[in-house]
Amino acid sequence: MKRDAIVAIFFLLAFLFVSYAVTVKNVLGLGEAELRPLGEFYLSHSFAHEGLTSHSPEVVTAIVWNYRGFDTLFETFVFFLAIMGALSVLRLTEEQAKIVREIEGREPHRRMDIIVRATTKLVVIMIVSISASIALHGHITPGGGFQGGSAMAVAALLLFAAFSKFTLERKGLTLGHTMSAYAIGLALIMVTVLAPLFLYGGKILEINLLPGEMGLFNLDVGEYTAVTFGFLTVFLILGIPEWIFKNVLRREMND
Amino acid sequence: MIELHLIILAIVVSFGFVFSYLAMKEHDLLKALALSSVQSTFFALGFYILAAPDIVLAYLAIAVGAYTALIILAISKTERYEVGE
């Protein structure tokens, strides 16, 4: 343990030395680099109160105002690949899913005590409202569909931990339902992306043709739904205990 | 010359650094996971000081919530203690 502490302190000192050399002593010559005129323009105008401004407190949003949709589209692609990977590795056939449900139904349902459950209920309501505000405001303030959706997934996870997977499934959050909701989110994104092409004769994803801020708002809502239920799908599949999984696979091998 | 928020940034990132070192040295995987989420919290503060609030929102939810839960599920499918040679 003493040697660990020495190593840690040594690393910390090296880190501080490098940061000191780069920032104060300007070893790499970064400090003298002048800001380009374009960068200076964005930094001074993105949150200005008059003139050319996008009224965005966030410089990234100001720069990529029109490209935010692009950002969302690729986030969706990456997330889709991840979900499909998880589903194809951990998939179950209909009979296997039935066996899993049978075995899980015979298990005793363990829940946390009442203090944890009551607190979780309160916290979950707060997280859901905050995630909605992040996602539905995403086209104006920092945030967006992905951020809001992942916060919402955390709320679902808390329910998952404090109650049980079984409780969630009894309330209607079964695998089929979450996957359908995920598909609805993806469909909303696809419609928004393709609408300018068919309705206004523009290009794909030219969402500034849509009336008002509808384009970015629709993308945010679609992404919010897709990310929330995508995460939930993965957690519902991973939440099946390992010994049940092994049991099912062993039956498959015996057949 | 050096402004206050840069000093705070240095402190916060140093704490994150320390916690990531501790997480690497820990043999109890659940404890290592807790240490790693503390490190993520410090890094999220760092991102906030660097004026990237949208990264903070995604990073906190993913790194402290979803990532931790995924790794806990993964640990529940293997063993809790890392057995070294």
Can you give the residue ranges of every domain in chain A?
A: 2-33, 65-254
Structural contact between residues B44 and B63, judged by C-beta atoms closer than 8 angstroms: yes
On the 0-12 / 13-18 / 19+ scale of CB atoms within 10 A, A155 is: buried
Query: pLDDT 10s digit of each residue in chain A, 255 long?
Result: 788 888 888 888 998 888 888 878 777 777 667 778 887 877 777 666 666 665 566 676 666 655 666 777 788 888 899 999 988 888 788 888 888 888 877 877 777 888 998 999 999 999 999 999 888 887 777 777 888 898 998 998 888 888 887 778 888 888 889 999 999 999 998 888 888 888 888 777 776 677 766 777 888 888 899 999 998 888 888 888 778 878 887 877 776
Residue B28 lies in a domain: yes
Q: What residue numbers bound the domain in which B25 lies?
A: 4-76
A90, two tokens: 């951990």
Q: Is the pLDDT of residue B84 over 70?
A: no
Rounded to 5 degrees, what are φ and ψ at A46?
Answer: -65, -30
- Does residue B46 lie in a domain region? yes
Nearest to B61 among A7, A60, A147 (CB): A147
Instruction: State whether residue B18 sits within 8 Å of chain A by CB.
Output: yes
What is the rounded distance in angstroms from the CA atom of residue A243 to the CA atom of residue A221? 38
- Rounded distance between C-alpha atoms, residue A36 and residue A15, angstroms: 29
- Which tens digits make up the pLDDT trace of A121-160? 999 999 999 999 888 887 777 777 888 898 998 998 888 8
Q: Which residues of A touch B56 (CB under 8 A)?
A: 142
Classify burial at B70, counting beta carbons within 10 Å of its beta carbon; exposed 0-12, middle 13-18, buried 19 or more.
middle
Q: Are A143 and A137 in contact (CB under 8 A)?
A: yes
Q: Of B12, B78, B6, which is closest to residue B43 (Cα–Cα)?
A: B12
Domain count, chain B: 1
Q: Is A134 on the interface with B (CB under 8 A)?
A: yes
Question: Does B81 map to a domain?
Answer: no
B51 touches chain A (CB under 8 A): yes
Other C-beta atoms lying within 10 Å of the C-beta of residue A1: 6
Please tell me which of the candidates A8, A16, A150 has its beta carbon nearest to residue B58: A150
Query: Which of the 8 DSSP states describes residue A34?
Result: P
